[in-house]
Amino acid sequence: MSAGVFGSLFLYTFLSHFNHGSFLRFRAASAWEAVDTNIPSVNLDIRTIVFSSSLIALAASILIIVFNKKANSNKYMKFFIDTANLAHIKEAHELGILDGVTTNPSLMAKEGISGQENVVRHYQAICGITDGDVSAEVIATTYEEMVIEGEALAKLHERIVVKVPMIKDGLRAIKYFSSKGIKTNCTLVFSAGQALLAAKAGATYVSPFIGRLDDVSTDGMTLIEDIRTIYDNYGYTTQILAASARHPMHIVNCAKVGADVVTAPLAPIVALLKHPLTDNGLAQFLADHAKAAGK
Active-site amino acid positions: 163
Residues facing residue 243 across a β-bridge: 209
Determine the size of the site formed for ligand G3P (CB under 6 A): 11
- Asked if 166 contacts 188 with a C-beta cutoff of 8 angstroms, the reply is yes
Q: In Å, what is the CA distance from 121 to each residue of 86, 92, 213, 255, 261?
A: 12, 20, 33, 33, 26
Closest distance of CB 170 from ligand G3P, Å: 15
Please say which residue, 81 or 173, places its beta carbon nearer to ligand G3P: 81
Please say which residue, 159 or 163, places its beta carbon nearer to ligand G3P: 163
Angle, helix 192-201 to helix 220-234, in steps of 10 degrees: 40
275: left (phi over 0), alpha (psi -120 to 50) or beta: beta
Q: Does 243 bind ligand G3P (CB under 6 A)?
A: yes
**Sign of the alpha-carbon torsion through 153, 157, 158, 159:** negative
- The one-letter code for the residue type at 193 is G
Closest distance of CB 111 from ligand G3P, Å: 13
Mark 72-111 with x for binding to ligand G3P (rule: CB under 6 A) and - for no binding: ----------x-------------------x-x--x----
Q: Which of 184, 204, 244, 253 binds ligand G3P (CB under 6 A)?
A: 244
Q: Does 205 bind ligand G3P (CB under 6 A)?
A: no
Q: Does 263 bind ligand G3P (CB under 6 A)?
A: yes
- Asked if 203 contacts 222 with a C-beta cutoff of 8 angstroms, the reply is no
Q: In Å, what is the CA distance from 93 to each residue of 46, 90, 146, 157, 188?
A: 61, 5, 30, 18, 26
Q: Which of 32, 42, 105, 211 binds ligand G3P (CB under 6 A)?
A: 211
d(CA 42, CA 18): 10
Q: Does 246 bind ligand G3P (CB under 6 A)?
A: yes
Task: Name the one range near ligand G3P by CB under 6 A: 66-74, 147-155, 239-247, 279-287.
Answer: 239-247
Interface with ligand G3P (CB under 6 A)? 82, 102, 104, 107, 209, 211-212, 243-244, 246, 263
